[in-house]
Chain A
Amino acid sequence: MISGRETLRLAFRALQRNTLRSFLTALGIIIGVAAVICMVSIGEGAKSRIRGMIEAAGTNVILVFSGSSSSGGMRGGMGSQPTITWDDLRAIQTELPAVRAAAPQARGGSEVVSENATWTTTVYGVTPEFFDIRNWALDHGVLLSPSDQAGAAKNVVLGATTADKLFGNGVDPVGQSVRIRNAPFTIVGVLERKGQSGMGQDQDDAAFIPMSAFQSRFQRGLGKFVPGQLYVSAVSSEAIEPAKTQITQLLRQRHRLDSGEEDDFSLMTMAEMTGMLTATTQTLTTLLASIAFVSLLVGGIGVMNIMLVSVTERTREIGIRMAVGAQPLDIMAQFLIEALTLAALGGVVGIALGIGAADLLSSRFGWSMAVRTDIVVLALLVSAGVGVVFGLYPARKASRLDPIEALRYE
């Protein structure tokens, strides 16, 4: 058999002779590979963005919900029934060594009315520790204070978007007054911009008031129970698991649950939340990538089709080559390498195009992207594999031609 380099040269020759056809055939592969790379890059980007945002929401954070998370029987879901009391919260804040801070958070939708504008946003009832736990800094003004909570002060801290909507971009609204549920609240501070959450909602479209004020305006009659859920931060990332154990033990003990009884609360760490969200994104990415892989497959069939046409068209050439001494394997290698070259070239161009498209889409729509080297390598291997698999049959067909018949072919 002749050398690989010689065969490669022959393949390039043949592809050059039919430039347009070669290009169109490769285009099938190019589009397929580009689609895979683009989809996966954007999916990966979304995943890392979600991870980043959830981490920005506060690291080492554990969420504590009232009610059981278990779906056993007809129990209500998380947060459906208040079970955590203010005493529970204080115990979590003071008794557990792995816990750095804990704060409740409840929310309700409401119109917020300034002198010039009305804006419907989410109003959160929080305690002063909340901002620290969520790792959320002030842009200007001050945060809610313990005395605001103690006195149910009608003070409000606005998210950046809410401030912009009510007062216009760049205007400092601190000291001004807004009405929330018909009560005048004084703006004491505006928070730093935090951007979209992992679920795509604007975290800055919010207003924060003391939980005590929230309870009197939004959610009455809970008495000793804490509305909403708790944000608990562990002292370090290593302390997350101990903190979970400690909170569970503490709450079970305080709620006097027997060992056979289910928890009447549930915990979720940010890591678990990230996991959940990234799993969703992963599913989507996988789905999109599989569709893209189908188009790669279609590209492969295109390669096979053209190779079959090419073998038929070049029957006489095959006959000539055989007559002057080409081995069946030489002929097979020539056509196989031709298909492989076509597919691999398509793969390389497709990768470049896919990365380019992902880059364009992400800058156009503000998505993020992350190119995964393993997927790039995989796409290249798959496209080369497609070339081999779909080139094999035409190449075998060529190598099995009878030289006499082939020479006679018109």
Chain B
Amino acid sequence: MALIELQKVTRIYQSGDTEFAALRDVDLSIASGEFVAVTGSSGSGKSTLMNILGCLDSPTRGVYRLDDRDVARMSRVELADVRNRSIGFVFQSFNLLPRTPAIENVELPLIYAHVPPAERRRRATEALERVGLADRSKHQPSQLSGGQQQRVAIARALVTRPPLILADEPTGNLDSVTSLDIMQLLAGLRDSGITIVFVTHEADIAAFAHRRLALRDGVIVADERSHSPTATEARG
């Protein structure tokens, strides 16, 4: 069954009298457990697509079903709830809270999920272990390398055990070696059943995905799958 179902999704931005369609009648279905790369030049609509998939933005027209729920017409309050329960975000610039220890950054989504403090700490520690940073839990972002910060961000995305992780150029600020590490980590997560959609510019990063979408001018122009072994196995 499809985790993500977009039907004729259009997003129009309005500035003054001029309208600009960032997405036009996009149909897209992503099954549970898929590992999807979204590529496209800047202005192609991939950020808009990610924002809509991430329930940070709502389509102007069209249907968006996430986990069989119609999220296109939800209120801000309901959307916040969906983001909290169903989606984990990983950003290009990590977006950790400054001057806040790693463990507390990871706990953040659990605060808004009303998880009691002791349970919160336990789950956050678990998530940090999973990204291999258990020994850095008291470190503040400024004391961590870029790769480590992105690992903390991934732990934060994982901690609510969401079915979907959205990563917006997760390796954009990292060197190539660290980039590969991070992609390995994401690939590992997908192997445990989490659906992952990520945006990238780079072909070698996109190669990790099983499915690659290309956007241009708000339309999906390519949708190719590699049926052959998964990226992890290929590199394994």
Complex: how many Å from CA A2 to CA B85? 15
Tell me which of A316, A330, A404 contacts B56 (CB under 8 A): A404
The A/B interface has a contact count, at CB < 8 Å, of 61
Does A385 touch B at the CB level, under 8 Å? no
Shortest distance from the beta carbon of B42 to any chain A beta carbon, whole Å:
13
Residues of A within 8 A of B225 (CB): none
> Is A403 within 8 A of B112, CB to CB?
no
Shortest distance from the beta carbon of A243 to any chain B beta carbon, whole Å:
73
> Is B89 within 8 A of A324, CB to CB?
yes
Complex: how many Å from CA A27 to CA B156? 37
Residues of A within 8 A of B144 (CB): none
Complex: how many Å from CA A13 to CA B100? 9
Does A317 touch B at the CB level, under 8 Å? yes
Residue with the highest number of chain B CB atoms closer than 10 Å, among A323, A327, A404? A323
Which residues B94-120 have CB closer than 8 A to chain A? 95-100, 108-109, 111-114
Does B25 touch A at the CB level, under 8 Å? no
> Is A327 within 8 A of B112, CB to CB?
yes
Does A321 touch B at the CB level, under 8 Å? yes
Instruction: Decide: A325 near B80, CB < 8 A? Known: A330-B112, A403-B56, A404-B56.
Output: yes
Complex: how many Å from CA A22 to CA B86? 37
Contact with B along A324-337 (1 / 0, CB 8 A): 11111110000000
Does B83 touch A at the CB level, under 8 Å? yes
Does A6 touch B at the CB level, under 8 Å? yes
Complex: how many Å from CA A2 to CA B83? 15
> Is B80 within 8 A of A328, CB to CB?
yes
Instruction: Decide: A324 near B56, CB < 8 A? Known: A6-B111, A330-B112.
Output: no
Does B54 touch A at the CB level, under 8 Å? yes
> Is B56 within 8 A of A325, CB to CB?
no
Tell me which of B91, B111, B112, B156 contacts A407 (CB under 8 A): B91
Tell me which of B51, B76, B114 contacts A2 (CB under 8 A): B114
Does B221 touch A at the CB level, under 8 Å? no
Residues of A within 8 A of B96 (CB): 320
Residues of B within 8 A of A321 (CB): 108, 112
Contact with B along A369-410 (1 / 0, CB 8 A): 000000000000000000000000000000000011001000
Residues of A within 8 A of B156 (CB): 324
Shortest distance from the beta carbon of B130 to any chain A beta carbon, whole Å:
17
Secondary structure call for the A interface = helix
How many of A's residues come within 8 Å of B, CB to CB? 23
Does B81 touch A at the CB level, under 8 Å? yes
Residues of A within 8 A of B98 (CB): 317
Residues of A within 8 A of B177 (CB): none
Tell me which of B80, B97, B100, B113 contacts A322 (CB under 8 A): B80
Does B57 touch A at the CB level, under 8 Å? yes
Tell me which of A17, A320, A329, A404 contacts B108 (CB under 8 A): A320
Which residues A204-229 have CB closer than 8 A to chain B? none
Complex: how many Å from CA A317 to CA B113? 18
Question: Can you list 26 A-B contacts (CB < 8 A)?
Answer: A2-B111, A2-B112, A17-B99, A316-B95, A317-B97, A320-B95, A321-B108, A322-B56, A322-B83, A324-B83, A324-B89, A324-B108, A324-B109, A324-B112, A325-B80, A325-B83, A325-B84, A325-B109, A325-B113, A325-B160, A327-B80, A329-B77, A330-B112, A403-B56, A404-B56, A407-B91
The interface of chain B, by Cβ under 8 A from chain A, is 51, 54, 56-57, 76-77, 80-81, 83-85, 89, 91, 95-100, 108-109, 111-114, 156, 160
A323-B95, A325-B109 given. 12 additional CB < 8 A pairs?
A2-B112, A320-B96, A320-B108, A323-B83, A324-B89, A324-B109, A325-B80, A325-B83, A325-B160, A326-B80, A327-B81, A330-B112
